[in-house]
Amino acid sequence: MKATVIGAGNVGATTADVLAYRQIVDEVVLLDIKEGVSEGKSLDMLQASTLSGSQTRFIASTNDYSLTANSDVVVITSGVPRKPGMTREELIGVNAGIVKSVVEQVVKYSPNAILVIVSNPMDTMTYLAHKVAGLPQNRIIGMGGALDSARFTIYLSKALNCSPADIQGVVIGGHGDTTMIPLTRLATYKGVPVSQFVSADVLKQVAADTMVGGATLTKLLGTSAWYAPGAASASVVEAIVRDQKRVITSCVPLNGEYGQNDICLGVPVVIGKNGWEKIIDFKLNTEEQDLFSKSAEAVRNMNSVLSTLSL
Ligand code: APR
């Protein structure tokens, strides 16, 4: 299996590193527009593989898409990250142009690939990728829910003072500080609702911490995070190439599910060799459905900005 990662910055290089370290694919192409970045990082990772025992091959590319040809999966991380105080939404002006041109090149060389979109604002970049790529809709997946759900799980495990492995937590909606919806009502500790162990106030705080999980790290680091985003992106690739049929909250086009149309938003989907294969459409309660509709409204407003940009 061949995976390409576009953008060899913090998130892209970490994604490539996890893909190779865990031997999820046989070959990783790392492509960046900046000369030397993908070459240097690929060489560094190749040298690391002699120590880890990984057999994954690396191909480095400075903007030469012919080297990405016939990839099975392409992860798109190219673009600018946010700085402290910025929202993901503020990146749209720069990143929309980058994502559009990258998707066009990717599809030209790998018409059968499944695309995983990571660049922010991710819900809008996924919507844009669907418009530009002309691929069957199952073959474009926005990665945000996997990361937000991982952060939710960690905050829940801290609140319950338990292992994150025993927590099931799902975050749906947009991948923004104010648009994501951590589903505290449905989170469980080994199948038992977490509300049996912690108070409603604690759960409210867990949800609030989850929503600003990315911003908290951006403030600490001076740029946005990469270890969990890279690991989350690699987990989506793994579900595809190993046809795992895992349920991973991902940003996909909605056609009536959750009461929405003409939008890409985070919902639980089954991921396997065909990309996202099925939307798990379950009944939210009134409060959750209301939050989901508000989230959709905010993402739709962001999508409408696309038509004002000269792309
Ligand atoms: N083609 C290929 N690579 C590009 C292009 C392009 N047109 N434009 C920018 N890049 C590269 C940059 O050269 C840089 O190496 O994308 C990389 C981005 O890396 P970082 O600046 O380290 O950003 P990172 O933290 O990886 O975030 C990338 O993912 O999570 C999101 O919000 C984040 O949108 C941001 C993206």
- Residue (of 210, 229, 233) closest to 221 by Cα position: 229
- The low-confidence residues of the chain, meaning pLDDT below 50, are none
pLDDT of residue 310: 86
CA of 225, closest atom in ligand 1: 25
Domain range enclosing 166: 145-308
Q: Are residues 138 and 151 in the same domain?
A: no
Assess whether the C-beta atom of 83 lies below 6 angstroms from ligand 1. no
pLDDT of residue 79: 95
Query: Ligand 1 centre and the CA of 137: distance in Å?
Result: 24
Q: Are residues 49 and 85 in the same domain?
A: yes
Show which of 142, 162, 186 is a domain's final residue: 142
Cis-peptide into 121, omega within 30 deg: yes
Show which of 142, 164, 199 is a domain's final residue: 142
Could you tell me if 226 and 145 are in contact, meaning their C-beta atoms sit under 8 angstroms apart? Answer: no
Catalytic residue among 122, 153, 175, 179, which? 175
Tokens encoding 125: 């970049």
Q: Are residues 100 and 47 in the same domain?
A: yes
Q: CA-CA distance, 281 to 262, in Å (whole number)?
A: 16
Show which of 82, 114, 142 is a domain's final residue: 142
The CATH number covering residue 294 comes to 3.90.110.10
pLDDT of residue 262: 97
pLDDT of residue 74: 99
Domain count, the chain: 2
pLDDT in tens, 102-129: 999 999 999 999 999 999 999 999 999 9
pLDDT in tens, 241-285: 999 999 999 999 999 999 999 999 999 999 999 999 999 999 999
CA of 95, closest atom in ligand 1: 34
Q: Are residues 81 and 106 in the same domain?
A: yes
The CATH number covering residue 13 comes to 3.40.50.720
Tokens encoding 74: 């392409």
Q: What does pTM read for this prediction?
A: 0.98
Q: Are residues 150 and 272 in the same domain?
A: yes
Q: Are residues 134 and 150 in the same domain?
A: no
pLDDT of residue 89: 86
Q: Are residues 160 and 293 in the same domain?
A: yes
